[in-house]
A and B are shown apart, each in its own frame.
Chain A
Amino acid sequence: MKKTLRIALVGNPNSGKSSLFNALTGLNQKVGNFPGVTVDKKTGNLWLSSSLQAEITDLPGTYSLYPRSEDEQVTFNVLLDQHNASHPDLVLVVADATNLRRNLLFITQIIDLGLPTALVVNKIDLAHEQGYELNLQALSAKLGIPVLATDARNGQGVKELKQLLADENFGLALPFYLQTEAVQPVLEELEPINGMKPGYRSFIFLCNHDYLSHISNKQHQAIDALIQKHGLNINQLQARETVQRYEQIAGLLGSIEKRSTTAAKKSRSEKIDKVLLHPVWGYVVFLGILFFIFQAIFSWASWPMDFIETVFGQLGAWGSAYLPEHWLSDLLINGILAGLGGVVVFLPQIVLLFLFLSLLEETGYMARVSFLMDKLMRKFGLNGKSVVPLIGGYACAVPSIMATRSINSWKERILTIMVLPLMSCSARLPVYTLLIGMSVPDDKVLGLFNLQGLVMMAFYLLGFVAAIGSALVMKWFIKERNSSFFLLEMPIYQWPRWRNVGMTLIEKGNAFVLGAGKIILIVSVALWFLSSFGPGNSFDQLESQYAAQMVDGELSAELQHQFDRDKLEASYAGRIGKWMEPAIAPLGFDWKIGIALVTSFAAREVFVGTMATIYSLGGEDFEENTLREQMLADINPRTGMPLFDLATTFSLLLFYAFAMQCMSTLAITWRETKSWKWPALQFGYMTGLAYLASLLAYQLLR
């Protein structure tokens, strides 16, 4: 008989819980959803014996059973609600051996819940280095649960832990905290409502019922009435519990924890902080790190990205050469294959950014970033940890939005996600290069600076100012779900574990490809359809028209380009461009630009290729200068003046600076917020901003 043992892994943040999870489950991990919330659910499987499998859920770290953040609420719900899909058979609590006292607050709360529990005292090596002597046998005897020491980063104690789990040797401990008796009468009255025997579990249910998702409104009302009737002050009850627990813990630890020498490692950490948190050097180092990360995702990532694009391009060319000419082949090559390429091409940037981010987290530096930047970023409603994703936004919003995970406050995280796409990402660069090259003379300013370069820089700066400014405005409209606080543990510096870094990269890559990837693929296919098909028989007419001009069954290159152009104009995308014209005419745009706005929703840089198709240069392998000349020569039939005059070009530049012209960003925003509301708002406000800015620019410059 095969049996599955469901284990919940819980513990304080920084206890090394994730390291232990990785050490236990290796690559047998998957990321899913907790229903109804944005928190990712990480589960992993492990065979304990030939007949016993463990399914381990890595629950979000928390300091107590009094939840505040959404993460902590997930842990609370899983532990309290017996019918929750993740409710465990066994709770495995991970504690930081260098800080047992604080960790025991949560440990003893878990014990009092009355679930089978085992304790892992992790970072035992570090504790020894810091001069702690721990008598874990005595701790086990006093708590009444199995206690095991590990050093998960080195895999030490993991084998013993697996054995402990395989033996299913964990019992129920006696209650640790007995002061709930003061509210005994209330708990007795509560029993018919929640079906729990009076005790700590019922007590914590009473105190935090607002955070429980499985009880009905009627039950909530009944509990509130009960609290009112007895004049209970929940805050006071919580404060009393915390203080009394800590008193009991101090008594318990007296015989268990001894400290001989002063900390060697801690003083090393202190020395590092003297530099990294220094008023001058601290910021110099931080800027250096930011520059390095930016450099990596902006320029180093382009090598593998070019390679991926070449491979997909070759595959497409190979497909066009060997597959029969049919719309299905076209769908396969220009819809699905191109869409897949559009997904895979993000992986180098995601891997590189998360390589650096997980190094910053692993070493303990990320907490210092918060410490250094909090005051500055708080003014804009952002978090100290928003800085790295924002700078990452200069390369690409997609991995950077994924990187906002480390921001604990929900509001600060949402704000960061919302304004991040305003940063001038690398996909805007080809658009800027084309348009600035057309409209700004290649002159020197003060004999030193190139004017085109200065304008380019101004647009980069504009992105940053727009992002910060939008945050400043939006912070008044987005409500905080829970009262916001900073309170951050500053872990001591440690060398990173490559295993943990590697697992993060795999997890993030998977999350992107499987989460956002499908949306990107669907939209790619939709966009392909819009530009490859037209209403009625317009395409058939074009085909017979050009077939008449074929020589030996082939069109000359020039005619082929014209044919492509006419097809695009006749396509649904072309119709939409024309249909949009009245709306975008006040911005100085015509239907041709309208088409490019539709197609470049796939990615901003598609604008350039679409323009090349429209001006009959072929979608690829064209000379950019030829395209500029063609665009500049175009006369707007309504005004009789050049279409791409200064007003239109600047209006278009501003539009691309602000508009949410990127389906991949919308897809990842959906993935990270688990709701369509936020990507919709993002699309709405950015398009609105772009429209207004372009309107203003065109009407003023005209």
Chain B
Amino acid sequence: MQLSQLRTGQVALIKNLGDHPIANKLLEMGCLPGEWVRVRRIAPLGDPMAIEILGYELALRLDEAAAIEVEVRPNFVQP
């Protein structure tokens, strides 16, 4: 599943980063495989989205979020 497909409030584990020109930039910002990510909100117009990663809030466009492959953990309580 891609990060861009998640809904507000969902928590997921980052599996992998796809072959996207900004993949390295995403890594730098802390979107690392094995990290937890939570969808904070989606902009009123449907794009971009804001996620919580490494304890801070990062906004990114959906096509950028699509580069992040995640695994959703239902009913997960964030550590």
Instruction: Check if A382 is an interface residue, CB within 8 A of chain B.
Output: no
Q: Once bound together, how far apart are the Cα atoms of A335 and B64, in whole Å?
A: 54
The answer to whether B32 touches A68 (Cβ under 8 A) is no
Instruction: Check if B74 is an interface residue, CB within 8 A of chain A.
Output: no
The answer to whether A273 touches B48 (Cβ under 8 A) is no
The answer to whether A487 touches B43 (Cβ under 8 A) is no
Instruction: Check if A194 is an interface residue, CB within 8 A of chain B.
Output: no
| Pick from B25, B32, B55: contact of A99, CB under 8 Å | B55
The answer to whether B59 touches A486 (Cβ under 8 A) is yes
Q: Once bound together, how far apart are the Cα atoms of A560 and B53, in whole Å?
A: 75
Which residues of the partner chain B approach A375 to less than 8 Å between Cβ atoms? 43, 45-48
Which A residues from 53 to 86 make CB contacts under 8 A with B? Answer: 63-64, 66, 68
| Pick from A101, A102, A105, A374: contact of B43, CB under 8 Å | A374
Instruction: Check if B71 is an interface residue, CB within 8 A of chain A.
Output: no
Which B residues from 16 to 31 make CB contacts under 8 A with A? Answer: 17, 21-30
Contact with B along A359-380 (1 / 0, CB 8 A): 0000000010011101110000
Q: Once bound together, how far apart are the Cα atoms of A243 and B56, in whole Å?
A: 18
Nearest CB on A from B54, distance (A)? 5
Which residues of the partner chain A approach B22 to less than 8 Å between Cβ atoms? 483, 485, 487
Q: Once bound together, how far apart are the Cα atoms of A372 and B59, in whole Å?
A: 11
| Pick from A242, A273, A490: contact of B27, CB under 8 Å | A242
The answer to whether A277 touches B44 (Cβ under 8 A) is yes
Which residues of the partner chain B approach A278 to less than 8 Å between Cβ atoms? 44
The answer to whether B56 touches A487 (Cβ under 8 A) is no
The answer to whether B57 touches A102 (Cβ under 8 A) is no
The answer to whether A99 touches B24 (Cβ under 8 A) is no
Instruction: Check if A460 is an interface residue, CB within 8 A of chain B.
Output: no
The answer to whether A99 touches B56 (Cβ under 8 A) is yes
| Pick from B25, B43, B54, B55: contact of A371, CB under 8 Å | B43
The answer to whether A371 touches B50 (Cβ under 8 A) is yes
Instruction: Check if B15 is an interface residue, CB within 8 A of chain A.
Output: no
The answer to whether A64 touches B50 (Cβ under 8 A) is no
The answer to whether B44 touches A282 (Cβ under 8 A) is yes
Q: Once bound together, how far apart are the Cα atoms of A489 and B30, in whole Å?
A: 11
Which residues of the partner chain B approach A64 to less than 8 Å between Cβ atoms? 28
The answer to whether B24 touches A238 (Cβ under 8 A) is yes
Which residues of the partner chain B approach A492 to less than 8 Å between Cβ atoms? 57
Which residues of the partner chain A approach B50 to less than 8 Å between Cβ atoms? 371, 490
Instruction: Check if A246 is an interface residue, CB within 8 A of chain B.
Output: yes
Nearest opposing residue in chain A for B62, CB measure = A375
Given the known inter-chain contacts A99-B56, A273-B41, please indicate yes or no for A485 contacting B25, CB distance below 8 A.
yes
Q: Once bound together, how far apart are the Cα atoms of A485 and B21, in whole Å?
A: 9
Which A residues from 22 to 71 make CB contacts under 8 A with B? Answer: 63-64, 66, 68
Instruction: Check if B7 is an interface residue, CB within 8 A of chain A.
Output: no
Instruction: Check if B60 is an interface residue, CB within 8 A of chain A.
Output: yes
Instruction: Check if B61 is an interface residue, CB within 8 A of chain A.
Output: yes
Nearest CB on A from B53, distance (A)? 9
The answer to whether A487 touches B26 (Cβ under 8 A) is yes
Which A residues from 479 to 497 make CB contacts under 8 A with B? Answer: 483, 485-490, 492
Instruction: Check if B58 is an interface residue, CB within 8 A of chain A.
Output: yes
Which residues of the partner chain A approach B17 to less than 8 Å between Cβ atoms? 239
Instruction: Check if A556 is an interface residue, CB within 8 A of chain B.
Output: no
| Pick from B48, B54, B57, B59: contact of A101, CB under 8 Å | B54
Q: Once bound together, how far apart are the Cα atoms of A277 and B17, in whole Å?
A: 28
The answer to whether B28 touches A488 (Cβ under 8 A) is no
Q: Once bound together, how far apart are the Cα atoms of A372 and B57, in whole Å?
A: 15
Nearest opposing residue in chain B for A62, CB measure = B28
Instruction: Check if A98 is an interface residue, CB within 8 A of chain B.
Output: yes
The answer to whether A488 touches B60 (Cβ under 8 A) is yes
Q: Once bound together, how far apart are the Cα atoms of A235 and B20, in whole Å?
A: 11
Which residues of the partner chain A approach B57 to less than 8 Å between Cβ atoms? 489-490, 492
Which residues of the partner chain A approach B61 to less than 8 Å between Cβ atoms? 374, 485-486
Which residues of the partner chain A approach B64 to less than 8 Å between Cβ atoms? 485-487
Which residues of the partner chain B approach A367 to less than 8 Å between Cβ atoms? 59
Instruction: Check if A410 is an interface residue, CB within 8 A of chain B.
Output: no
Nearest opposing residue in chain B for A263, CB measure = B55
Which residues of the partner chain B approach A640 to less than 8 Å between Cβ atoms? none
The answer to whether B24 touches A66 (Cβ under 8 A) is yes
The answer to whether A102 touches B32 (Cβ under 8 A) is no
| Pick from A63, A66, A283: contact of B44, CB under 8 Å | A283
Nearest CB on A from B10, distance (A)? 17
Which residues of the partner chain B approach A371 to less than 8 Å between Cβ atoms? 43, 48, 50, 59
Nearest CB on B from A109, distance (A)? 10
Which residues of the partner chain B approach A243 to less than 8 Å between Cβ atoms? 27, 32-33
Which residues of the partner chain A approach B24 to less than 8 Å between Cβ atoms? 66, 235, 238-239, 242
Q: Once bound together, how far apart are the Cα atoms of A138 and B17, in whole Å?
A: 33
Q: Once bound together, how far apart are the Cα atoms of A492 and B17, in whole Å?
A: 27
Which residues of the partner chain A approach B30 to less than 8 Å between Cβ atoms? 101-102, 246
Nearest CB on A from B25, distance (A)? 6
Q: Once bound together, how far apart are the Cα atoms of A246 and B24, in whole Å?
A: 13
The answer to whether B25 touches A98 (Cβ under 8 A) is no
Nearest opposing residue in chain A for B50, CB measure = A490
Instruction: Check if A192 is an interface residue, CB within 8 A of chain B.
Output: no
Q: Once bound together, how far apart are the Cα atoms of A370 and B21, in whole Å?
A: 22
Given the known inter-chain contacts A68-B25, A246-B30, please indicate yes or no for A487 contacting B58, CB distance below 8 A.
yes
Instruction: Check if A279 is an interface residue, CB within 8 A of chain B.
Output: yes
Nearest opposing residue in chain B for A130, CB measure = B55
The answer to whether A239 touches B59 (Cβ under 8 A) is no
Q: Once bound together, how far apart are the Cα atoms of A64 and B44, in whole Å?
A: 31
The answer to whether B59 touches A246 (Cβ under 8 A) is no
Q: Once bound together, how far apart are the Cα atoms of A283 and B44, in whole Å?
A: 9
Given the known inter-chain contacts A102-B29, A487-B64, A488-B59, please indicate yes or no for A374 contacting B47, CB distance below 8 A.
yes
Nearest opposing residue in chain B for A242, CB measure = B27
Nearest CB on A from B52, distance (A)? 10
Q: Which residues of A contact B (CB under 8 A)?
A: 63-64, 66, 68, 98-99, 101-102, 105, 235, 238-239, 242-243, 246, 273, 277-279, 282-283, 367, 370-372, 374-376, 483, 485-490, 492
Q: Known A-B contacts: A278-B44, A485-B25. Give 7 more (CB < 8 A).
A: A66-B24, A239-B17, A239-B23, A246-B30, A487-B59, A487-B60, A488-B58
- 9 A-B pairs within 8 Å (CB atoms) are namely A63-B29, A98-B56, A238-B24, A279-B44, A283-B44, A370-B59, A374-B61, A486-B60, A487-B64
The 3 closest A-B pairs by CB, nearest first: A279-B44, A490-B57, A375-B45
